[in-house]
Amino acid sequence: MRRRLAAFGVTASLVLSLILGLAGCGDPDQQMLSEGARSAREAVSGVRTAQLAAQSLLGGRIWAQPATVMVTDAEDALGQVATTFDARQPETDESRQTYDLYSEALANAADGVTDLRIAVRSGDLETVRQLVAQLDKTAEQLEQLGERAQ
């Protein structure tokens, strides 16, 4: 009985090691694409949150201070998404191209939300209006990038 349990334990360990080993493998290009798409989908949420706060401010539904807090929170979240993605290391030329594409899109989104925060804080409602429209295009681009790996 003990031999059987020992043999089962060894077999289970080997199977588990094999599964874990295979899980770590994969095409680096596909991994970069999947991670980029996931990051883009996360970034859309931050961009849309910032837009909603700005639109609410423009519509007189919230004051500048809560709008600033919401946009700042969205900016922080976008910064984390971009930083996490930028920490990845492309392994091939193709994964480098994918990395550059997603990294640039994430940086543009973060910069746009930063510009929006500055405009909201300074009370520059015309710039807020322009940035809301610009961020709509940014969010659409991120949505398209987010669908690439699905």
In order of 55, 107, 125, 134, 147, the CA distances from 129 in angstroms are 8, 21, 6, 9, 28
CATH topology of domain 28-146: Four Helix Bundle (Hemerythrin (Met), subunit A) (1.20.120)
pLDDT for the residue numbered 149: 83
Domain ranges of the chain: 28-146
Query: Residue with structure tokens 């807090």?
Result: 69
Predicted TM-score (pTM) of the model is: 0.82
Distance CA 98, CA 104 (A): 10
User: Which positions of the chain have pLDDT values less than 70?
Assistant: 1-25
Q: What pLDDT score does 150 carry?
A: 73
Question: Cα separation of 1 and 145, whole Å?
Answer: 56
Q: Give the Å distances, CA to CA, from 52 to 59, 79, 125, 132, 142.
A: 10, 18, 14, 9, 17
119: its two tokens: 């405009």
